[in-house]
């Protein structure tokens, strides 16, 4: 089917990072891959990949289409394997990596839940904030937050995460409510070490989110700093100052009124929370099942966030 070959060429080019690598995987010439991409973009009426002589770059539409295509191809592979193996149950060992804070709060409970319905799978969960080398360290699946740079890995967008400026109601009652990011110079800001600054939308509150894509990094100051984000949350709850924290971390506090978000109109655009795994021709069933479970669980409304600012 021409459309399937076009989609396959697009996914391979996007994940492998070049026409030649995609052509090698498909055992065709780069010119064939290029023609398939051209035909796909013409059929959809949108540019998916910006191609120059030096690099390839996915457009916004291309990234969204890639996520959907990877999900569909993954589901097709699952269906084929299920039929081929007569519905065999998944078994074996999984090594999973996730950021320490997010993994402790959200991934660890999901791992335990996943094992209840997959009793023949054992799991090693590695919680670390360093950038794990999946291939060399034998990691089957990793959860990462933010922009992804390694095009040799398959990625699946699980959810979105916002960063918010929060404080306790007691702190705001005593020190006042900042109206713009520039007002932060008048406040005690709780600093995460090493400190790069807090990111805000470069547009004013009156502009739409589509117009507010550009961001600025604002240096802030305060009397307290720590290299553990969980401590900053505790300090914010105790009324020690303003903290810039992830929605997945403080969502429950915001819903319960223990913390209040400020400067919401200046919040930077959300970043993706992704499941990533090595590029393999035949991904083990246990990995596919876990990735699908993550996607379904993280996509549920209210697992984190969805509070009313």
CB 293 within 8 A of CB 110: yes
Residue 91's pLDDT is 81
Coil, helix or strand at residue 41: helix
pLDDT at 308 over 60: no
Residue 202's pLDDT is 74
The length of the chain in residues reads: 309
Helix (H) or strand (E) holding 145: strand 141-145
For 89-130, the pLDDT digits (tens) are: 778 889 999 999 999 999 999 999 999 989 889 999 999 988
| Cβ count within 10 A of residue 23 | 20
Residue 211's pLDDT is 46
> Using 50, 70 and 90 to split pLDDT, how confident is the model at 196?
confident
pLDDT at 75 over 90: no
- Give the tokens for residue 202: 């470069």
Residue 85's pLDDT is 56
CB 106 within 8 A of CB 303: yes
For 175-184, the pLDDT digits (tens) are: 999 999 999 9
pLDDT at 282 over 80: no
Please report, for residues 122, 164, 268, 277, the alpha-carbon distance to residue 245 in angstroms, rounded to integers and kept in the order given.
33, 5, 12, 27
Coil, helix or strand at residue 80: helix
> Using 50, 70 and 90 to split pLDDT, how confident is the model at 270?
confident
Burial class of residue 165, CB neighbours in 10 A (0-12, 13-18, 19+): buried
Looking at residues 143-153, what average pLDDT do you find? Answer: 79
Residue 151's pLDDT is 66
Residue written as token pair 């404080």: 167
For 198-214, the pLDDT digits (tens) are: 999 876 444 444 444 58
DSSP letters along 218-233, please? E----S-EES-HHHHH
- Residue 298 CA to residue 75 CA, distance in Å, equals 17
Q: What's the whole-model pTM score? A: 0.64
- Give the tokens for residue 196: 């790069």
Residue 250's pLDDT is 94
pLDDT at 153 over 60: yes
Closest CA to 157 of 79, 269, 70: 70
């Amino acid at each position: 089917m021409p459309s399937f070959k076009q989609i396959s060429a697009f996914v391979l080019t996007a994940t492998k990072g070049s026409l030649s690598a995609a052509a090698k995987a498909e055992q065709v010439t780069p010119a064939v891959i290029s023609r398939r991409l051209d035909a796909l973009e013409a059929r959809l009426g949108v540019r998916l990949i910006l191609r120059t002589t030096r690099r390839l770059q996915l457009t916004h539409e291309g990234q969204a289409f890639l996520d959907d295509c990877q999900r569909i191809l993954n589901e097709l592979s699952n269906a084929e394997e299920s039929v081929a193996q007569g519905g065999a149950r998944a078994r074996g060992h999984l090594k999973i990596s996730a950021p320490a804070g997010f993994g402790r709060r959200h991934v660890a409970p999901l791992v335990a839940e996943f094992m209840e319905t997959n009793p023949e799978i054992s799991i090693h969960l590695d919680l670390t904030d360093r950038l794990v080398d999946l291939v060399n360290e034998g990691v089957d699946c990793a959860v990462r937050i933010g922009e992804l740079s390694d095009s040799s890995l398959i990625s699946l967008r699980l959810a979105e995460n916002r960063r918010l400026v929060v404080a306790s109601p007691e702190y705001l009652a005593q020190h006042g409510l900042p109206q713009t990011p520039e007002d932060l110079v008048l406040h005690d800001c709780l600093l995460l070490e090493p400190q790069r600054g807090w990111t805000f939308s470069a547009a004013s509150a009156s502009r739409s989110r589509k117009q507010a894509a550009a961001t600025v990094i604002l240096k802030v100051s305060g009397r307290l700093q720590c290299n553990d984000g969980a401590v900053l949350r505790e300090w914010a709850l105790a009324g020690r100052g303003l903290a810039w924290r992830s929605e997945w971390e403080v969502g429950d506090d915001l819903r319960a009124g223990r913390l209040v978000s400020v400067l919401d109109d200046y919040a930077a655009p959300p970043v993706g929370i992704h499941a990533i795994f090595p590029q393999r021709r035949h991904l083990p069933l246990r990995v596919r099942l876990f990735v699908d479970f993550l996607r379904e669980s993280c996509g549920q409304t209210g697992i984190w966030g969805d509070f009313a600012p």
